[in-house]
A and B are shown apart, each in its own frame.
Chain A
Amino acid sequence: MKAPAPLNLIAELTYRCPLQCPYCSNPLDLSAYPESLSAEDWGRVFDESAALGVVHVGLTGGEPSTRRDLEEILARAVAADLYPHLVTAGMPLDSTRLAELARLGLRSVQVSIQDSEPSTSDRVAGTRSFEEKIAICEKTRELGLALTINCVLHRHNLASVPALLELASRLGADRLELANTQYHGWALRNRAALMPTREQLLEASRVVREAEAAAAGSGPTVLFVLPDYFSDRPKPCMGGWGRLALVVDPTGMVLPCHEAGGLPGLEFWNVREKSVEQCWSEAPGMNAYRGTEWMREPCRSCPERERDFGGCRCQAFRLLGDADATDPACALSPDHEFIVAARDERVAQWQPRRARGAQ
């Protein structure tokens, strides 16, 4: 099938990060991912992506501010007529550097926090970082950039949702993403330590609805979606495989999502060897799950196949060993029992992400 024109580029500038969050979606073994794209390489990726239709670039990682040439990379994104959005943990970025990025054309910033209080946030992050994060939020507002605060939710911080709503409002955030953990990478390894209860999720959902009704359109836009482990239907992962967004990882591989490089047997191409257009349109891996032709039953005849695009291929592989299978998060999947059983798994403590093998 003809490849659709993508709108978004997710530029994973590095996998390095000073935090050790137990739900990190970085690959487990970073030694397989030597960082190899220079600022000049990224400039070519931006130019070729814009020519393909891309309008927006998320500068992400890992932690993008660990790159000393982030300013040069950003300037190249601006020159390519992309809308630059920085996804940051808030450190080692500092206010002076953020001001310089704004001067160069940065438009919006997403800052991750791990909880609403310094002690609990720092515990999840594995390092003192909360105060730095809040300082970056404040500087973002001072500079007139759009501010999104992102907090990944799990059973140890779902009770903080009211405090997170208050914090985002106090900081003047435009948007608060209350992102329930997706179980990939380190999060899958720590699933039983992170899995919330249905009651926690329903309570958080109720709190968000009430806060939105009380705010009546003022204050931050709040995003809270029940996680797929507690829904009956899968999420439309990335808006569909190879459909709206492309990921370029730190080595230059072009992927449909940041996990897909771990699927065996799929051939993806690298921007060091091919153009972005070739990597997006022609790589066998990019075409493996485009559209609906690849689907088996029950997806193939499902009236929702154009809405959820069969869910997440990586989740099907990680849980079932078969990337072609129906996402087991779907209640119509013959393997849905794996998801149902996981809802009740509990261990007390997570394993922090290790940076071994990182650059």
Chain B
Amino acid sequence: MSLDPARRLGLSRHADLKSRDGDFVLVLPERALRLGGSGAEILRVISEERTIGAILQTMRERYADTPDIESEVLGFLDEMLKLGGIVPIDPAEATNGSSPAPVGSDSNGAAGADRTTPMGAKS
């Protein structure tokens, strides 16, 4: 999956961002991932700005003291794209009103998804 700065991203319509006891959790059809700090913040930024370049710019400004923030954000986006939590947005689709799902309005702390679990599959 290309991480071209011009690429537009949105939260998958199958994904939810839920809050439990101060933590944010990304919920997908078959799994849930507890998001440490900047992970939840990145997903919130995606709902506002959507291009990878804009996401990086915003996160660089917010984390000016973190030298490797860019690689952290790109790593997180790559992981989320592979998991299907975020999806590329076709520009034509975005202007058609097919916007990605909204995400929560709060965020906390620092960096990435820390726990994931598979759901419900039984042999």
Footprint of B on A, CB under 8 Å? 5, 7-8, 10, 23, 25, 50, 53-56, 58, 60, 81, 83, 85, 87, 107-108, 110, 144-146, 148, 150, 152, 174-175, 177, 179-182, 184, 187, 217, 221, 238-239, 244-245, 258
Contact = CB atoms under 8 A, between A and B. Distances in A.
27 contacts: A5-B21, A8-B119, A8-B120, A10-B119, A25-B122, A25-B123, A55-B18, A55-B20, A55-B27, A56-B27, A56-B31, A56-B32, A56-B119, A81-B18, A107-B29, A108-B14, A110-B30, A145-B14, A146-B29, A174-B14, A175-B29, A175-B84, A177-B30, A182-B123, A217-B1, A238-B117, A239-B118
B62 interface: no
B21 A174 contact: no
A152 B123 contact: yes
A58 B123 contact: no
Nearest to A23: B123
Contacts of A81: 18
| Residues of B in contact with A, size category | 20 to 34
Given A55-B25, A238-B117, A244-B117, 7 more contacts: A7-B115, A8-B32, A8-B119, A55-B27, A56-B27, A58-B120, A110-B120
A56 B116 CA distance: 12
B113 to A, nearest CB: 12
Interface string B25-47: 10101111010000000000000
A14 B48 CA distance: 43
B30 A108 contact: yes
Interface string B73-116: 00000000110100000000000000000000000000000011
B117 A8 contact: yes
A140 B84 CA distance: 18
Contacts of A148: 29-30
A13 to B, nearest CB: 12
Contact of B32 (A55, A145, A150): A55
A60 B30 CA distance: 13
B16 interface: yes
B6 interface: no
Contact of A7 (B29, B32, B82, B120): B32
B121 A179 contact: yes
B121 to A, nearest CB: 6
A184 B121 CA distance: 13
